[in-house]
Structure 1
């Protein structure tokens, strides 16, 4: 099965594209579309998506992204549970904004993650893009945590990460994945608008 997933499905922009990348493209688009709609099935489909992309990134030498996919699986199960039972009195979670303390904690975590990963990738692996790999990994982890807690601002973190991912994957000849992240960028903008509307709807006071 792994050999088939790593085999060439088509050629995009002169570079071979594997079945894992093709299936990752399809499942990724559906996953983010479900996330925009706050549909619970985004989590199991997202777990399948990251398993496929793990193979793609390993072949491309994006080792931090491989580790990121493993963490995505764990965060996927966490997010699945919190969306169902993380609300008040173990009810479904609702959209909210990020608090000042949460922003501070995420900023500190982001700096430490980026610095640690950059040093690790630069000195202990053969990564050709250690800084870009480290920055996108840190941003993606923080965005996924925000997504699991239904924080509206998680979309801004995804947008920042996507703006780096698009040229990065093109540089690594992962053209189909690069195009996928262009679509992700558009969906992130749509997600930001949709979650803001959901938040405003929750804040409307209904007369008794």
Structure 2
């Protein structure tokens, strides 16, 4: 319950484009790994491992972007960035599912676990870059993650992910509206890149 409440807090901070979203995500991931480990749910454990690694990287990206522009700029990814994100997500999901299928002890639900693991990586990467597609990636992960959490006996996690789903829709709207505001010319520079 504590890990999921931290996750909700991290989502709320991300919605507001607060750099503190990242350390809270990192802590949430650590707490949830401890909870999921006893349940032998590698997809959910893998998701939290990705949260921890990506939170560290995203934190540095947002801190650098904030120092350079004074705030966290958000934008839609361009078509090339989207294609790479979707293609890498699809290939990564297939590769990881094959690994799980070849080693059944790693996962009782190879495709769902692979999809959640790789989809989470895609979402966290897009968030760190300040792309609105981050919200779409989370929606795609939640569509599979919510039923998996309930089916795995983690009802509180499933309920929390259901709340995430609603908050993600609201966050997507907030970020989308933010992209429509007038911004300086450096707004299209990716986070962490020099202008």
Q: What TM-score results when the alignment is normalised by the length of structure 1? A: 0.82
Shift of 1:54: 1.0
User: What are the Cα deviations for residues 88-140 of structure 1, in whole angstroms up to 9, with x where unaligned?
Assistant: 95754410111111111112211211111111112214221111111121211
1:121 counterpart residue number? 100
Shift of 1:177: 0.2
Q: Which of residues 58, 62, 69 is equivalent to 1:79? A: 58
Compare the two structures and name the one with the higher strand fraction. 1
Distance 1:104 1:201 in 2: 26
Write the mapping of 1:1-208 to structure 2, written as runs, cut at 5 A. Answer: 22-86=1-65, 89=68, 92-126=71-105, 127-203=107-183
Distance 1:31 1:87 in 2: 18
User: What are the Cα deviations for residues 118-172 of structure 1, in whole angstroms up to 9, with x where unaligned?
Assistant: 1111221422111111112121110110001110121011011111111111110
Aligned residue for 1:40, secondary structure, equals coil
User: What are the Cα deviations for residues 42-92 of structure 1, in whole angstroms up to 9, with x where unaligned?
Assistant: 111110000011122222222133233223222111111111213795754
- Check the 8 A contact 2:50/2:120 in 1, yes or no: no
Distance 2:12 2:163 in 1: 10
Distance 2:81 2:171 in 1: 21
- Check the 8 A contact 2:17/2:72 in 1, yes or no: no
Distance 2:50 2:121 in 1: 8
Q: Gaps (5+ residues) in structure 2?
A: 186-195
- Count of residues in correspondence between the two structures: 184
Aligned residue for 1:128, secondary structure, equals coil
Q: Gaps (5+ residues) in structure 1?
A: 1-21
